[in-house]
Amino acid sequence: RLSLPVGEKGTKRAPGGYRSRQEWFQKSRRLRLLKDRLERKRADHDRGRVRVVRGGKRQLHTRHHLDAAQLTEHAWRRRWEAERSFLQADGESGKRFGNETIRVTPDGEVSLKLPAPLAHLANAPHGRYVLATVIFHHRREEWADRITTNRSVAYRIHYDTDRSRWYLTASWTIPPVKTVPLSHARAGGLISVDTNADHLAAWRLDEHGNPVGEPRRFFYDLSGSAYRRDTQVRHALIRLLHWAKRHGLSIAIEDLDFAAEKTREKHGRQKRFRRLISGMPVSKLRARLVSMAAELGITIIAVGPAYTSRWGAQHWLGPLTHTTRKTTRHDAASIAIGRRALGHRIRRRTAPPPHDQSDRVGHRTAQAGHGTPGREETRPRIPGPRTRSVSPDAARTRATSASTTVRDAPVDQDWVQDPLLHTD
Between these two residues, 69 and 391, which has the higher pLDDT value?
69
- Beta-sheet strand order (sheet of 165-171): 86-89, 154-160, 165-171
pLDDT for res 409: 46
Beta bridge partners of 218: 200
Q: Give dist(CA 338, CA 193) in Å, integer.
A: 8
Q: Give dist(CA 206, CA 187) in Å, integer.
A: 9
pLDDT for res 352: 53
Q: What is the mean pLDDT of residues 325-342?
A: 91
Q: What is the SS3 assignment for 160-197?
A: ECCCCEEEEEEECCCCCCCCCCHHHHHCCCEEEEEECC
| Alpha carbon separation from 156 to 102, 104, 150 (Å, rounded) | 9, 12, 18
- The H helix count followed by the E strand count for the chain is 12, 11
Q: How many CB atoms lie within 10 A of CB 353?
A: 14
pLDDT for res 35: 95
**Residue-wise pLDDT tens digits, 199-244:** 899 999 999 889 998 999 999 888 878 778 778 888 889 899 999 9
The model's confidence at residue 406, banded by pLDDT at 50, 70 and 90, is very low
Q: Supply the pTM of this predicted model.
A: 0.55
Give the H/E segment covering residue 154.
Answer: strand 154-160
Q: Give dist(CA 215, CA 301) in Å, integer.
A: 19
Range scoring the smallest mean pLDDT among 121-125, 144-148, 224-228:
224-228
Contacts 24+ apart (CB under 8 A), 398-407: 399/423
Cα angle value 186/190/195 (rounded, 5°): 125
- Chain-centroid distance of CA 265 in Å reads 27
Pick from 303, 298, 372: nearest CA to 339: 303
Q: What is the mean pLDDT of the chain?
A: 80
CATH class of 182-342: alpha beta
**Residue-wise pLDDT tens digits, 18-76:** 889 998 999 999 999 999 999 999 999 999 988 877 767 888 888 889 998 888 998 88
Pick from 342, 359, 379: nearest CA to 350: 359
Give the H/E segment covering residue 256.
Answer: none
Residue ranges per domain, the chain?
1-51, 85-171, 182-342
Residue 325 per-residue DSSP state: B
Whether the pLDDT of residue 296 is over 70: the answer is yes
Whether the pLDDT of residue 97 is over 60: the answer is yes
